Structure 1
Amino acid sequence: MIARSDRDVAAVRDLARPLDDDADLDELVARAGRARLVLIGEASHGTHEFYAWRDRLTRRLVAEQDFRFVAVEGDWPDCRRLHRYAVGDPEGPATADEALAGYDRWPTWMWANTAVRDAMRWLHDHNAARPPAERVGFHGLDVYSLHRSMRAVVDWLAEHEPVLAETARAAYACFDPFGPDPFDYARRTRWVPEDCEEPVVEVLQELCAGHSRGETGSADERFVAEQNAAVVAGAERYYRTAVRGGPESWNVRDHHMADTLDRLLDHAGPGSKGVVWAHNTHIGDAHATDMAAHGMTNLGELARERHADEGVVLVGQAGHRGTVLAGEAWGAAAERMRVPEARPASAEDLLHEAVGDGPSVLSFPPPSQQPRWLRTSLDHRAIGVVYHPRRERRGNYVPSTLGDRYDALIWCGDTTALEPVHPEPRDDPEPETAPTGV
């Protein structure tokens, strides 16, 4: 860690541009518009400003740079409801509130909040003026919806391919003895060698084979069914590795998100471009953090590896203090918590001294032209859905070389908590992620 100097403060000021309105995003929009993928992060899952500025940047990429979908750190079936609203599906939800009501697993506020509602209303109106084939979609990348995705696969197959539906029912019955909590299944596989991996992968392979043969159902409907089958296969592996500890379950999850992103690009067609919304810990290149030393990869690193020739822009976000919506434990009631001022000598501490509380945008130059503060590891704050402000000095920071982790950074010095649109559910069997809640 470097000792901060006046030179570092001046270098931050030289790079930072005030972010007062959408026009101040011009330079970043032009840079991101040349890429096939733009991944936009957040330093917490509960901060309004991170969601709002991410939405404002995305609107410009969609409207001006022809980005064709938004893919997020959310479950495929839940985000599918928002997609159907956004594209104006006549059989889908009629309003954003109706679509958001389907988020009924903790932490619901991560997507069922007023910032996402505003974003989806804009996307719905934008799509209404476009031909159906050119409407911008909204999709989930995550791996947690094991049981919902199983039901979705069987329901689709029952209507379109009844024989394969019976195969899927038999395969998914492997999970029946373990109840609704995927961890009950995963814990059992530690002691019993048989698991459900082979049958659920076979269902996915059969569905994909049907795709290549052009069998029943529209191409979009079959793609949705295939993705739900991929979620089942990914979730089975995720939960099985999670109970064994170590970094593998994190890597399984981020590989699943990267694979889903690639499928979305293929489905959208040649030259299509996509925006990704996820936590900084997923979209900032893991190579530039201490995650690499622990054997962890992430979505941002994988996107750069797979799509370097097509262009990938990683945009992080950071804040200094304010309030955040989070829980004290997994499944606990959401609270508006006070976020203390950032740790001394952290990246946030430096940014605050240089540019203060107002929003700013920093577009990073190439590594050979970067100032010292971008080339040296600094503690960089990360808040999950589980948060303990009193433990700030011991946790919640990821050592990062920001100039390698991101291509740009949006700074919001003083922040406010998200506003949820409905209360949390009472019970949820889904697991805590690691790092905690991100």
Structure 2
Amino acid sequence: MDGLEEFGAALDGVRVVGLGESTHGTAEFFRLKHRLFEHLVTEHGFRTLAMEASASAGPAVDAYVRDGTGDAATALTGLGFWTWRTREVLDLLEWMRSYNRGRPRADRIGFAGIDPQRSGTSVAHFGPERAGVLSVLADAQPGRLPERRAELLAAAEALEAEASGASGAPGDADRWHARVLARAADVATAEPGERLWRVRDGHMADAVDETVAAADGAGVAVWAHNGHVGVRGAALGARLRERYGPAYYALGLFFGEGAFRARRMWPGPWGPRLKRPSRVAVNRIGPAGPDTLEALLAAASPKSADARLTDLRSRAHEEWTRRTYPTRTHGAYVARFVYRRNVMPVVPGEEYDGLAYVPVSTPSRPL
């Protein structure tokens, strides 16, 4: 991997590293983040992987990697995100378990989910009688229940009060699961658009804070989309930059050409409203246009299939880092027919602390 030494040197004083991705379905991104997390653990003392995945189901993954409880595939499936049910992510969890085997508990690495979505484990913790109307949060999609906002937030507030001891409810587990459901209620009932983005990323930032506190001084790696780890606007990364300053390092991941997995939906405002589930498809894409960030990274990269890392903190004086470039961005869903034209503007030196580039993207491998 070209640039790993430069990347490692830039981490002096860094406590949180955001590991981005411009698609949720590129095998090379997942393998690269695996390699980077290994490097952070073995060379920089990082101890936790915090993932854009179900906070509610995260403890089951943590129990597997720390203690071998259950099995990796079941725990991974429990996170509720098709994007992570892949061979590449499973390999990472198996490496984490292998690393921990035989080590003292204080030296083991762990896992945390940070996304309020998919809160079925927390609903099951309380059971249908105590969870009541909050049971809908087991599978509720972000921004899909704005008409029930008052009802669900009131129920979440009551459950939090009960779990905090107002009615004699026992235990840290009650308080933790009640907090997860309160965040899930806020995300499920937020108005779609900018407000939903702010609400979800704000709660993920709070979950990262809690993970950092639990790490007791050790570093935390955050696995999420480029749009979350970057430091613009109200994104997760912007909150982390506000809270940790230069101790937060945002690494954006980009690719040249190839294919990636994503669900396809019809373009236009009606697409996301269709009730039938979109299928996960392999989406092919050619080389990026000549004025894009990807084209710039391709021109600066050696002709190899390996990844290249570029630290931007050491290049802040270079004019190219302050220019605006269009760059590709694809999430769990893409608009069929037009996804190849889906770009957003980015000033790399203002949004990221480092860039990673892989020449060819191949689809992640589903379990």
What TM bracket, shorter-length normalisation? 0.7 to 0.9
Q: How does 1:166-177 map to 2 (within 5 A)?
A: 169-170=129-130, 172-175=131-134
Equivalent residues in 2 for 1:83-122, closer than 5 Å: 83-89=62-68, 92-93=69-70, 95-103=71-79, 105=80, 107-108=81-82, 110-122=83-95
Whole-Å Cα distance in 2 between the matches of residues 417 and 177 of structure 1? 33
CA distance in 1, matches of 2:160, 2:35: 37
One-letter code of the match for 1:279?
A: H
Task: Indicate the larger mover: 36-45 or 326-335.
Answer: 326-335
Which position in structure 1 is the counterpart of 2:41? Answer: 62
From the CA coordinates, give the structure whose radius of gyration is larger.
1
Matches for 1:234-383 after TM superposition, within 5 Å? 234-242=183-191, 245-269=192-216, 271-286=217-232, 292=233, 297-308=234-245, 311-329=247-265, 331-355=277-301, 358=305, 359-366=307-314, 368-369=316-317, 371-383=318-330
1:232-252 per-residue CA deviation (whole Å, 9 max, x = no partner) reads: 11121112213xx33111111
Deviation track 1:40-69 (CA, whole Å, cap 9, x = no partner) reads: 101110001111111101111112211121
CA contact (8 A) 2:123 2:137 kept: no
Equivalent pair of 1:178/1:184 in contact (CA under 8 Å): no
Closer/same/farther in 2, CA of residues 176 and 185 from structure 1, 3 Å limit: farther
String of CA shifts for 1:147-167, please: whole Å, max 9, x gaps.
Answer: 432222x16xxxxxxxxxxxx
Counterpart Cα distance in 1 of 2:138 and 2:104: 44
Given that 1:123 and 1:136 are in contact with CA atoms closer than 8 Å, whether structure 2 keeps it comes out as: yes
Contact 1:76 1:228 in 2 (8 A): no
Unaligned runs of 5+ in 2: 266-271
**Aligned mates of 1:185, 1:388 — CA distance in 2:** 19
User: 1:408 aligned to 344, 349, 354, which one?
Assistant: 354
CA deviations over 1:157-214 (Å, ceiling 9, x no partner)? xxxxxxxxxxx945x3234699965689825337xxx42213312432453569xx9x
| Aligned position for 2:268 | none
Q: Which residue of 2 aligns with 1:40?
A: 19
The answer to whether the aligner puts 1:196 opposite 2:169 as a matched pair is no
CA 1:178–1:403 in 2, change beyond 3 Å: closer, same or farther?
closer
- Secondary structure of the equivalent of 1:139? strand
One-letter amino acid of the structure 2 residue matched with residue 201 of structure 1: E
More strand, by proportion: 2
TM-score normalized by the length of structure 2:
0.87
State which of 34, 54, 57 in structure 2 corresponds to 1:75: 54
CA–CA distance in 2 between the matches of 1:205 and 1:29? Answer: 44
Change (3 A) 1:179 1:127: closer
| CA drift at 1:361 | 1.1
* 1:347 CA drift (Å): 0.7
3-state SS of paired residue (2:357): strand
Which portions of structure 1, spanning 4 or more consecutive aligned residues, are displaced by more than 4 angstroms? 175-185
Paired with 2:137 and 2:249, the residues of 1 have a C-alpha distance of 42
Shift of 1:134: 2.7
Cα deviation, residue 102, structure 1: 3.0
* TM-score calculated relative to the size of structure 1: 0.74
SS in 1 for 2:85: coil
Distance 1:420 1:173 in 2: 35
Match of 1:327, SS?
strand
Contact in 2 for aligned 1:379/1:399 (Cα 8 Å): yes
Q: SS of 1:262's equivalent?
A: helix
Deviations 1:62-98 (A, max 9, x none): 1221112110000023332221110024xx21x3233
1:260 to 1:225, Cα distance in 2 relative to 1, 3 A: farther
